């Protein structure tokens, strides 16, 4: 296959530059396309940030056209902030970190889409978060939010643990914390275990009715279970035994993910996600020495992807 797109030419399975892509007239765009929102950062070829923008979810599972619509909306905002117009996109190399871009078929669909950029490199948003957290150096992240996922990166090679979805994965996450609370509250309602103030508070939301809990559960999504995590944290501060039991369990599950990252070779791990700090005190103390502060964010990681593509195609 051969072809041309702006200053790029397709040869032997790769888009290669027809001119010096390290020229300062080129730009870099880093995209963090999560399941909730899409953020972009526009920079010069030498890394000077010019503008940022935000739009809605760019999850590839919602459709490549939808993902690009949100990316381009956020990019337009970044261009306005930078005082530039869309004509520069033909000289912009983009790095995408997109939720749902978990296989070659989805990544190829994104690269092959009729986009306005000079070139696109793509990984999942977890991959770019890992790159950004360690500035491209070897290291790992453990995401503890509604879901959970661990990523280890070394020399551009990634290994992922967990993150396969609520039904079969996501241990130590907010969704699992909420699910386990609901399960224990139902056991208390059936008289199988002693109720606690936490279980009573949860069941009061359902008027102490098993059928209401059942009806809710048949429609509930991971974020609905995750919405109960603050309730667990609230009652744990009041020494509720069920809350403490649940957080101890979540800490063990997150600790198992940390231990596996260490086995893979990670010497530094950044915790990320809304549950990461609340769960830190419940992690195994023997693993706390692994934890470090992130050097950057997922947009920085996406800019590193873009920079790599720029360098590769200029060779």
Q: Measured between alpha carbons, how far is 57 from 116 in angstroms, rounded to an integer?
A: 20
User: By three-state DSSP, how is residue 307 classified?
Assistant: helix
pLDDT (mean) for 4-23: 42
Rounded CA gap, 55 and 224, in Å?
23
- The pLDDT tens digits for 127-157 are 999 999 999 999 999 999 988 999 999 998 9
Task: Determine the Cα–Cα distance for residues 140 and 75; give it in Å rounded to an integer.
Answer: 28
Which CATH code, of 1.10.10.10, 2.60.40.10, 3.30.530.20, 3.30.420.40, is assigned to 174-290? 3.30.420.40
pLDDT of amino acid 24:
62
Q: Sorting pLDDT into bands at 50, 70 and 90, what band is 15?
A: very low
* 3-135+297-314 shares its CATH topology with 174-290: yes
Q: Is residue 1 pLDDT above 50, yes or no?
A: no
Mean pLDDT over the full length of the chain: 91
The packing angle between helices 197-204 and 241-264, to 10°, is 100
Strand partners, 52: 41
Mean pLDDT of 58-81: 95
Using pLDDT thresholds of 50, 70 and 90, give the confidence band for residue 236. Answer: very high
Q: What is the mean pLDDT of residues 107-131?
A: 95
pLDDT at 2: 37
By CB atoms closer than 10 A (0-12, 13-18, 19+), residue 255 is: buried
How far apart are alpha carbons 59 and 67 in whole angstroms?
6
Share of the chain above pLDDT 90, in %: 81
Say if CB 236 and CB 177 are below 8 A apart: no
**Any idea how long the chain is?**
315
Res 62: pLDDT? 86
Please answer whether residues 160 and 288 qualify as being in contact, where contact means their C-beta atoms are separated by less than 8 angstroms.
no
Q: Please, what is the angle between helix 241-264 and helix 229-236, to 10°?
A: 110
pLDDT at 21 over 70: no
Exposed, middle or buried, 224 (CB in 10 Å: 0-12/13-18/19+)? middle
pTM of the complete model: 0.81
How do the domains of the chain map onto residue ranges?
3-135+297-314, 174-290
Distances (CA, A) of 218 to 147, 214, 227: 19, 6, 16
For residue 242, what are the CA distances in angstroms to 177, 199, 206, 235?
A: 11, 8, 18, 9
Rounded CA gap, 258 and 241, in Å?
Answer: 25
Angle at 268 (CA atoms; ends 267, 269), nearest 5 degrees: 125
In sign, the C-alpha dihedral spanning 110, 68, 313, 130 is: negative
Mean pLDDT of all residues in 277-300 = 96
Residues 276-285 have pLDDT tens digits of 999 999 999 9
Q: Are 141 and 150 in contact (CB under 8 A)?
A: yes
pLDDT at 315: 59
d(CA 133, CA 188): 42
User: Which candidate, 111, 113, 98, places its Cα nearest to that of 57?
Assistant: 98
Quick: pLDDT tens for 150-202: 999 999 899 999 988 888 999 999 999 999 999 999 999 999 999 999 999 99
Percentages helix, strand, coil for the chain (3-state, rounded to 5) are 45, 20, 30
- Looking at residue 61, its pLDDT comes to 87
Q: Which strand ranges, in their side-by-side order, compose the sheet holding 37-44?
A: 49-56, 37-44, 27-33, 92-98, 119-123
Tell me the C-alpha to C-alpha distance, in Å, between residue 216 and each of 190, 229, 242: 18, 17, 22
Q: Which of 3.20.20.100, 3.30.420.40, 3.30.2350.10, 3.90.920.20 is the CATH number of 3-135+297-314? A: 3.30.420.40
């Amino acid at each position: 296959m051969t072809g041309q797109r702006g200053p790029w030419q397709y040869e032997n399975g790769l888009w290669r530059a027809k001119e010096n892509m390290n020229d300062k007239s080129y730009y870099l765009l880093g995209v963090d396309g999560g399941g909730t929102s899409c953020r972009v950062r526009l920079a010069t070829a030498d890394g000077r940030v010019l503008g940022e923008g935000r739009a809605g979810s760019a999850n590839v599972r919602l459709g490549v056209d939808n993902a690009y619509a949100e990316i381009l909306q956020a990019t337009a905002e970044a261009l306005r902030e930078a005082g530039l117009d869309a004509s520069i996109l033909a000289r912009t190399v983009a790095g995408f970190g997109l939720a749902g871009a978990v296989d070659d078929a989805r990544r190829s669909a994104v690269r092959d889409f009729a986009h306005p950029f000079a070139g696109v490199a793509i990984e999942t948003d977890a991959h770019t978060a890992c790159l950004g957290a360690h500035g491209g150096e070897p290291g790992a992240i453990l995401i503890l939010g509604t879901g959970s996922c661990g990523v280890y990166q070394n020399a551009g090679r990634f290994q992922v643990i967990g993150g396969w979805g609520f039904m079969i994965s996501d241990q130590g996450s907010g969704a699992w914390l909420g699910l386990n609370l609901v399960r224990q509250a139902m056991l208390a309602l059936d008289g199988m275990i002693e109720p606690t103030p936490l279980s009573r508070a949860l069941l009061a939301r359902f008027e102490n009715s098993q059928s209401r809990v059942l009806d809710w559960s048949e429609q509930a999504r991971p974020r609905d279970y995750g919405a109960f995590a603050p309730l667990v944290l609230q009652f744990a501060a009041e020494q509720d035994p069920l809350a403490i039991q649940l957080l101890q369990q979540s800490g063990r599950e997150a600790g198992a993910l940390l231990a596996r990252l260490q086995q893979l070779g990670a010497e530094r791990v950044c915790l990320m996600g809304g549950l990461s700090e609340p769960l830190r005190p419940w992690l195994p103390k023997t693993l706390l020495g692994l934890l470090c502060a992130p050097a950057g964010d997922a947009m920085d990681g996406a800019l590193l992807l873009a920079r790599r593509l720029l360098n590769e195609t200029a060779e």
